[in-house]
Chain A
Amino acid sequence: MNIVVLVKQVPDTWAERKLQDGDKTLDRASVDVVMNEIDEYAVEEALRIKQSAGEGSEITVLTMGPDRAVETIRKALAMGADKAVHLSDEALHGSCALQTSYALATVLGTLDYDLVICGSESTDARLSIMAPLLAERLGVPQLSGARKVTVSDKTVRIERQTESGYDVIEAATPTVISVVEKINEPRYPSFKGIMAAKKKPLTTLTIADAGIAPDQVGLAAATSSVESFSTRPPRQAGQIVKDEGDGGSRVADFLASQKFL
């Protein structure tokens, strides 16, 4: 079983995140960066699937991002992934989700995979569409939003969260899976894992290496454009009152004043 796990480096959600004034892209340089939280669950799930699939299984980490994204790759390797591919090129800067999916699908096309696993969303863009985008481009089934994954031979079943419960969805490999965070409890990298990660194979690709057309990626060719942005004024702190035994009535009075009652 060959598994590719997609991981993304994102600004820490605790940090103040900004768009740059010049090209209106995310300011990645001035903030602390971490592995996108849900991607840790994707790595963990890959490790668990590999373990039950047994001998001959391999996990490849795939990341698109600037040079420093290698820190995130190392973390995935330290957790137990076997090798990594880092797609890194200035020309990719400012790519929209559609272009990113094109670039990742192009690299995936050169890898041998049964499963592609990613997190259900990134904490920076929060689009939750990478799994369907990749499935569409690769022409393979989409198993997105999985809270449980069961692999038996060439059949994959997931439980997908819905608004009223869950659906059971089934597909044959190869397939693209996205996972939500209740799927497992990601392990912490051990000291041994961290040391071993430094020696694991890491291939760095430019877009030319990967066969990605330069006019299909990057800010200038993005399929959507940010016209302007503004920092939302912080909400005006409202009225705060202390319960003096009449708290229920006080809230009800407020709701009535706002025409909710």
Chain B
Amino acid sequence: MAEVLVIVDHLDGTPKKVTYELLTKARELGEPSAVFLGAPGQSAAALDGLGRYGARKVYVGESDDIAGFLTAPKAEIVAALVKNKAPVAVLFASSTEGKEVAARVAVKTGSGLLADAVDLDADGTATQSIFGGAVEVKSTVTAGTNLVTVRPNSTPPVEQANEVVVEQLTVEVTEAAKGARIVESVVEGKGGRPDLGDAAIVVSGGRGVGAAEGFGIIEALADSLGAAVGASRAATDAGWYPHQHQVGQTGRTVSPQLYIAAGISGAIQHRAGMQTSKTIVAINKDAEAPIFELADFGLVGDLFTVVPALTEQIVKRKG
């Protein structure tokens, strides 16, 4: 069976859920091989999970030259693998970095690239959702190798345990690929919650939250559900919540199982970032707010009483 490369998206070695989703999808296209690229020693934490979700082989490239520079070293290594292994497809997570590495690999290998797929057929046809979710497009790659970046939460991860064979890659990064050096990585603000892009549930607050302090009840609701916290542009621009949590056009695009919007009116720019969520719940005191047009369940009410009451109910019912 033909080989499908899955580029592992990980945080300090621990694969993100999207990686398991990609491996699940890859099994429909062929035989999945994971490609782990990171700093020395990081892959140890990843191999077990990669095998559990069906990777037959794991190519491991570990070097400070991979971790210390922006995207170009990873692209060199993936492009070399594409040339040597001739896979039928290469799947990347649709993260900022996933798309950037994929873009460079496309140039290096003369391949087409389908970005932000929300579904992928066994023949490599990708479904993309464009214009803020208003139009669905089915596209194929017509040049070189099939390169696809897939949005998190596009498919539920399904285990299929395998013994993995590890193949260490010899990492030789060219000087040209070391142009953009990562001088420092700064962690800001809110730790301990799932990443916004990866989370199965997202709770977002908007203008109606009124102030930075107002996000306390949004966070409490998120924590009761094990959810990530999002924010509308109005809230991040006002400085109430950090910018990396902004959902919408020019922010993050999320597609969780459940999206709860509190105090968000639902301007088209916000909808562009969350419209493909499976289930949408809206809480807003303005009955005319456009967010209610999208909501599977809408509650017209004051979020400052509804959200804490909801959190209390959830905690009680979850026991």
Please give the residue numbers on chain A whose beta carbons come within 8 Å of chain B beta carbons, in ascending order.
13-14, 16-19, 24, 37-38, 96-98, 101, 120-121, 123-129, 131-133, 135-137, 139-145, 147, 157, 160-172, 175, 180-182, 222-232, 234-235, 237-243, 247-252, 254-256, 258, 260-261
Q: Which of A137, A181, A229, A247 contacts B107 (CB 8 A)?
A: A137
Contacts of B131 in A (CB 8 A): 17-18, 124
Please give the residue numbers on chain B whose beta carbons come within 8 Å of chain A beta carbons, in ascending order.
70-72, 75, 95-96, 99-104, 106-108, 110-116, 125, 129-144, 176, 179-189, 191, 195-197, 201, 225, 236-237, 243-244, 249-250, 253, 257-258, 268-269, 272, 275, 279-281, 283, 287, 292-302, 305-314, 317-318
Contact yes or no, B281 A255, CB < 8 A: yes
Task: Provide the bound-state CA to CA distance between A135 and B177, in Å.
Answer: 10
Contact yes or no, A227 B138, CB < 8 A: yes
Contact yes or no, A247 B310, CB < 8 A: yes
- Closest-by-CB residue of B relative to A125 is B130
Contact yes or no, B306 A260, CB < 8 A: no
Would you list the 7 A-B pairs with minimal beta carbon distance, nearest first? A248-B309, A243-B301, A141-B179, A223-B112, A165-B188, A252-B313, A129-B103
- Closest-by-CB residue of A relative to B75 is A136
Task: Provide the bound-state CA to CA distance between A127 and B116, in Å.
Answer: 8
Task: Provide the bound-state CA to CA distance between A144 and B72, in Å.
Answer: 12
Main secondary structure of the interface of B (DSSP, over half): mixed
Contacts of B281 in A (CB 8 A): 251, 254-255
- Closest-by-CB residue of A relative to B245 is A163
Main secondary structure of the interface of A (DSSP, over half): mixed
Q: Which of B115, B257, B312 contacts A127 (CB 8 A)?
A: B115
- Closest-by-CB residue of A relative to B295 is A238
How close is B67's CB to chain A, nearest CB, in angstroms?
Answer: 11
Task: Provide the bound-state CA to CA distance between A145 and B244, in Å.
Answer: 11
How close is A136's CB to chain B, nearest CB, in angstroms?
Answer: 4
Contacts of A140 in B (CB 8 A): 179
Contact yes or no, A251 B306, CB < 8 A: yes
Task: Provide the bound-state CA to CA distance between A116 and B187, in Å.
Answer: 28
Question: Can you list 28 contacts pairing A with B, beta carbon distance less than 8 Å?
Answer: A17-B134, A120-B250, A124-B131, A128-B99, A129-B103, A132-B100, A133-B103, A135-B179, A136-B103, A141-B70, A144-B100, A162-B96, A169-B183, A222-B112, A225-B139, A229-B138, A230-B135, A234-B293, A237-B295, A239-B296, A240-B295, A240-B300, A243-B302, A247-B310, A249-B313, A251-B297, A255-B281, A261-B317
